[in-house]
Amino acid sequence: MSHWKQPSKLAMLVVLLLLLCHAVDKVHCSTHHNNSQDFHSLLEFHKGITSDPNEALSNWNPSIHFCHWHGVNCSFTRPYRVTELNLTGQNLAGQISSSLGNLTFLHTLDLSYNSFSGPLPLLNKLRNLDVLFLGSNHLGDVIPDWLTNSSNLVDLDLSENNLTGHIPSNIGFLTKLEGIALYNNNLTGVIPPTLGNISTLEVVDFSANQLSGSIPNKVWQISNITMLNLGQNNLSGGIPDTLSNFSSLTALGLNNNKLGSALPSNIGDVFRHLNELYLDNNIFVGTIPTSLGNPSSLEALDLSNNHFSGKIPSSFGRLSKLQILNLELNMLEARDSEGWQFFDALANCSSLNILSVSQNLLHGPIPNSISNLSTTLQYLMMASNNLSGTVPPTIGKFSGLIKLSLANNNLTESNLIGRGRYGSVYRGKLKEMEVAVKVFDLEMRGAERSFLSECEALRSIQHRNLIPIITACSIVGTFKALIFEFMSNGNLDTWLRHKGDEEATRCLGLTQRINIVVNIADALDYLHHGCGRPTVHCDLKPSNILLDDDMNALLGDFGIASFYYDFETKWTCSSSSIGIKGTIGYIPPGRN
């Protein structure tokens, strides 16, 4: 019978230690830094950080292997080279050390959305770099020529910095580039023609700089491009007539430049997959090509503030996904039914949210077909034309309308039913219900306060003899309105003060007069004693007493109402006021 000796505890310990060391080496847990070059390069970068409010670099110390420092990724095998440094959005400040240029295995460098300043670091040795994101910092100086040494770059983002000077003319050497973003800088000079040599380009955004000159013809030959944004520069020239295959382009932004001449007649056929087209704030001339009705996916079209003339194409009616159509500030015409056909066609644009044709040469009455526009319409702008006639009552169907602008035309006010100190009241329709819309004139001092006072007064009171509010509309600083039920018999003043022979038959009987007095007395009793918070109307007069179908009287216009609190049986005003509140002759005693 053989006897096996138990292994000594010391021998077992040695074996376990050897295995543990091997495993530790595999997972980079050892504090021995296998690659001192990358280790020291990262430490030098760390020294350049002057602010780290989020403590993103709190574990960047020699006791931890650098491959486990926050934001650092390494290769999986010895000598464990740094392949990625990603510290985006950490609010870091300081200068980016050029020591990062020694991380020669680096594929991704993302320091975007921080507060780094100073020049771009020297990274000319990073020939393996695929992604360089330094956008949204405070980096200055010029874009260096050595950038093109990183010939494997796929994505480059230096946007939203303070970069100056020219875009390097040898940018075309980055032949693998798919996306380049240089927007929101202070770059000058021209767009390098060599940009057109990069056939892999999909996204180019040079907007919001000070670039000048024309758009190189080669740029219009980049076949794979999906987004080209050159807006907000000083570019001149135009869009060439020789456009051919641009079928990949989905977004084109050339707004806010000095581009001119006529648009190519086939622009909508060449850019047939466009989602967004912004050509506004330029000096384009001629007619709008009918082919712009052909890109079936077009959602936003802005041609405003140019010199376009002629008719608005009816072909826009084919743009079933169109949400924004801005044609304002041009010389577009509509003088007859043919010129207004575009309105009929736009009925097919079921997603239309914004339509502006303000400041053009549109003549005549607004077509009744306006009611066929999308019910999703929120902004309808037709100001400063030569419109005449009345506003179609069917415009009331747009219950989601945020802004309607018809100012500076020759429209009659057939729907106007009254004017007050702070605005006008119009008759309209809201979801098949007749309503009265009280629109406040915000240029009148006190109008906004009157709107707020009326909202405050009406939000918590309800009585059969108080005019019921349906809803309120408010756009900060631009538009405020209240919508009430429409009272078919107008106000008491029109029954007491006859205006011409046509009013001779409008006469109140004794019973009607008594009922009106009782109705208003009930309303005042409720306001003073029954609504939980005593309210004084402050402007009780015949024109603020409205009459419904059955000649019941309802009290309205709470724009200057005041709230009182009862302390020890004595009413006191909740807020002070300056000047006269109310109409002379109807101000309650003791109010001024």
Given a contact cutoff of 8 angstroms between Cβ atoms, the answer to whether 290 and 262 are in contact is no
Of the candidates 434, 428, 387, the residue with the CA atom closest to the CA atom of residue 408: 387
Identify the H or E element spanning 344: helix 341-345
Rounded Cα–Cα distance for residues 254 and 261 (Å): 14
Q: Which residues are catalytic?
A: 539
Given a contact cutoff of 8 angstroms between Cβ atoms, the answer to whether 482 and 454 are in contact is yes
Strands (E), 216-290: 227-229, 234-236, 251-253, 260-262, 276-278, 283-287
Rounded Cα–Cα distance for residues 125 and 39 (Å): 17
405: left (phi over 0), alpha (psi -120 to 50) or beta: beta
C-alpha pair distances (Å), 406 with each of 19, 105, 388: 83, 63, 11
Given a contact cutoff of 8 angstroms between Cβ atoms, the answer to whether 401 and 374 are in contact is no
* Burial of residue 393 (number of CB atoms within 10 Å: 0-12, 13-18, 19+): middle
Given a contact cutoff of 8 angstroms between Cβ atoms, the answer to whether 216 and 240 are in contact is no
Residue 252: strand pairing partners: 228, 277
**Which residue in the block uniquely carries the two structure tokens 């008594």?**
514
Rounded Cα–Cα distance for residues 69 and 442 (Å): 58
- CA-atom Rg of the chain in angstroms: 36
Rounded Cα–Cα distance for residues 69 and 95 (Å): 19
Residue type, 448: E
Question: What backbone torsions phi and psi does residue 399 show, to the nearest 5 degrees?
Answer: -70, -20
Rounded Cα–Cα distance for residues 116 and 239 (Å): 38
Residue 205: strand pairing partners: 181, 229
Of the candidates 384, 360, 365, 230, the residue with the CA atom closest to the CA atom of residue 307: 360
**Residue 438 labeled ligand binder:** yes
Count of C-beta atoms within a 10 Å radius of residue 509: 9
Q: Which two tokens stand for residue 249?
A: 């382009």
Rounded Cα–Cα distance for residues 358 and 336 (Å): 18
Angle made by CA atoms 498, 500, 503, in degrees to the nearest 5? 55
C-alpha pair distances (Å), 466 with each of 469, 496, 540: 9, 20, 12
Annotated binding site for ATP: 438
